[in-house]
C-alpha cells in the first residue's frame, strides 16, 4: 500500500511538472502577452525621460507579434529599409557599420511635409537585458538637440514575440513638451505595428497553428493595425508650434561628412519656408 501511494505521488508530481512546462501554461502565466493579445493592437505608453532628465516624456508602444524573435530582430535591424515600411520615416540609410554598431541616417517629415527632422544615430547590436533583447540608438548629429530610440524584443514562445519601441526626440525649437510626447507615442505605435505586419507576412502559413489561442491576436487586429499604420502624417501643431526645425539634406548623404551643419541660420531659413 505504501509503495502504491509513493508511485501515485510520483505520477501526480510528474503530471504537474509537465503541465507547468507546457507552452500553454507558460503563455497563460505571461500576463503581458495575454494583455497585448486581447488588445489586438499596439499598447501606447509614456516614460519619464532620464539619463539626462528632460521635460519631454519618452513615447512608447508595445505589441504582440505572431512571429519568432529572430524574424522580428531581422526586420528591426534592417535600418536601411525603414523608409519602405515604417510610416514615420521617409529616408533611412546605413552609413557605416563597425563591430556590430550601425551608424544610421534617419529623416522624418513634420508639419505635413513642410519640413523634416533628421538625425545620424548609432544603433547598438542586440544585447541581453533580463528576458529582453535591447537595441539602442543614440544621437550623434542632426537638426535636433537629442534623439534616443530603444527597441525591446522578448520571446513569449517559439512562435510569438513581444516588441516594444521607446522614442525620445528633443527639438531645438521650443515646442511644448506635451505636443512632442504625443507625436512620439504615435510614431512608436506606427513603427511597432509596421514591424508586426511585416514579420507576420514573412511567417509561412500554418506556422505556430497549434499554439494556444491565449496569445492569438483577435480577428480584427490586422485591420486595426493596418488602419493605424496608414493613418498618415501627424497633424500640424498650432500657434508657436507652426515652426520648423532645420530642413533635411535635399540629397541623401553618402557619409556623415556630407551632412549639413544644424546652425541657427539654417533654422531661421526653414522657419521662413514654413511660413510661406
Give the DSSP letter string of 237-270.
P-GGG----PPPPSS--SSGGGSPP--HHHHHHH
Q: Which of 72-86, 119-133, 173-187, 219-233 has the lowest mean pLDDT?
A: 219-233
The pLDDT score that the predictor gives to residue 1 is 52
- Taking CA 84 as the corner, what is the angle to CA 81 and CA 89, rounded to the nearest 5 degrees? 85
The pLDDT score that the predictor gives to residue 8 is 53
Predicted confidence (pLDDT) at residue 200 exceeds the cutoff of 90: yes
Q: Could you tell me if 100 and 221 are in contact, meaning their C-beta atoms sit under 8 angstroms apart?
A: no
Instruction: Tell me the average pLDDT across 231-235.
Output: 38
Looking at per-residue confidence, does 24 or 84 come out higher? 84
The pLDDT score that the predictor gives to residue 13 is 54
Looking at per-residue confidence, does 174 or 230 come out higher? 174
Looking at per-residue confidence, does 37 or 11 come out higher? 37
Q: What is the distance between the alpha carbons of residues 78 and 100, in angstroms, rounded to a whole number?
A: 13
The pLDDT score that the predictor gives to residue 269 is 43
Instruction: Tell me the average pLDDT across 99-123.
Output: 88
The pLDDT score that the predictor gives to residue 226 is 41
> Cell numbers at residue 232, please?
498618415
Predicted confidence (pLDDT) at residue 86 exceeds the cutoff of 70: yes
Which residue in this structure is represented by grid cell 533654422? 267
Percent of the chain with pLDDT over 90: 54
Mind listing the domains of the chain with CATH numbers? 30-275 (3.30.530.20)
For 15-58, how does the pLDDT look when each residue is reduced to its tens digit (9 = 90+)? 444 444 445 544 444 899 999 999 999 999 999 999 899 999 99
Instruction: Tell me the average pLDDT across 233-243.
Output: 37
Query: Mean pLDDT for the chain?
Result: 76
Instruction: Tell me the average pLDDT across 101-127.
Output: 89
Predicted confidence (pLDDT) at residue 165 exceeds the cutoff of 60: yes
Say which residues have a Cβ less than 8 Å from residue 123's Cβ, sequence separation at least 6.
77, 79, 101, 102, 103, 104, 135, 136, 137, 149
Q: Could you tell me if 163 and 41 are in contact, meaning their C-beta atoms sit under 8 angstroms apart?
A: no
pLDDT tier at 257, thresholds 50, 70, 90: very low
Predicted confidence (pLDDT) at residue 110 exceeds the cutoff of 60: yes
pLDDT tier at 3, thresholds 50, 70, 90: low
For 128-164, how does the pLDDT look when each residue is reduced to its tens digit (9 = 90+)? 999 999 999 999 999 999 999 999 999 999 999 999 9
The pLDDT score that the predictor gives to residue 174 is 84
Amino acid at each position: 500500500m505504501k509503495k502504491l501511494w509513493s508511485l501515485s505521488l510520483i505520477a501526480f508530481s510528474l503530471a504537474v511538472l509537465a503541465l507547468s512546462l507546457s507552452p500553454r501554461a507558460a503563455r497563460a502565466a505571461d500576463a503581458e502577452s495575454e494583455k497585448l493579445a486581447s488588445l489586438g493592437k499596439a499598447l501606447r505608453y509614456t516614460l519619464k525621460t532620464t539619463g539626462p532628465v528632460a521635460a519631454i516624456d519618452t513615447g512608447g508602444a508595445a505589441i504582440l507579434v505572431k512571429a519568432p524573435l529572430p524574424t522580428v530582430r531581422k526586420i528591426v535591424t534592417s535600418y536601411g529599409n525603414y523608409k519602405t515600411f515604417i510610416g514615420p520615416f521617409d529616408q533611412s540609410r546605413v552609413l557605416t557599420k563597425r563591430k556590430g554598431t550601425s551608424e544610421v541616417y534617419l529623416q522624418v517629415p513634420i508639419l505635413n511635409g513642410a519640413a523634416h527632422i533628421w538625425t545620424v544615430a548609432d544603433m547598438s547590436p542586440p544585447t541581453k537585458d533580463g528576458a529582453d533583447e535591447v537595441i539602442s540608438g543614440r544621437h550623434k548629429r542632426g537638426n535636433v538637440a537629442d534623439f534616443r530610440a530603444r527597441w525591446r524584443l522578448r520571446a513569449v514562445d517559439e512562435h510569438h514575440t513581444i516588441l516594444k519601441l521607446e522614442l525620445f526626440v528633443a527639438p531645438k525649437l521650443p515646442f511644448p513638451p506635451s505636443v512632442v510626447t504625443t507625436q512620439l507615442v504615435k510614431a512608436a505605435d506606427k513603427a511597432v505595428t509596421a514591424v508586426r505586419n511585416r514579420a507576420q507576412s514573412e511567417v509561412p502559413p500554418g506556422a505556430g497553428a497549434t499554439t494556444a489561442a491565449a496569445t492569438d491576436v483577435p480577428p480584427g487586429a490586422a485591420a486595426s493595425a493596418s488602419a493605424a499604420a496608414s493613418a498618415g502624417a501627424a497633424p500640424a501643431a498650432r500657434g508657436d508650434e507652426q515652426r520648423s526645425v532645420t530642413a533635411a539634406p535635399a540629397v541623401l548623404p553618402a557619409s556623415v561628412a556630407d551632412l549639413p551643419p544644424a546652425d541657427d541660420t539654417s533654422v531661421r531659413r526653414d522657419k521662413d519656408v514654413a511660413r510661406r
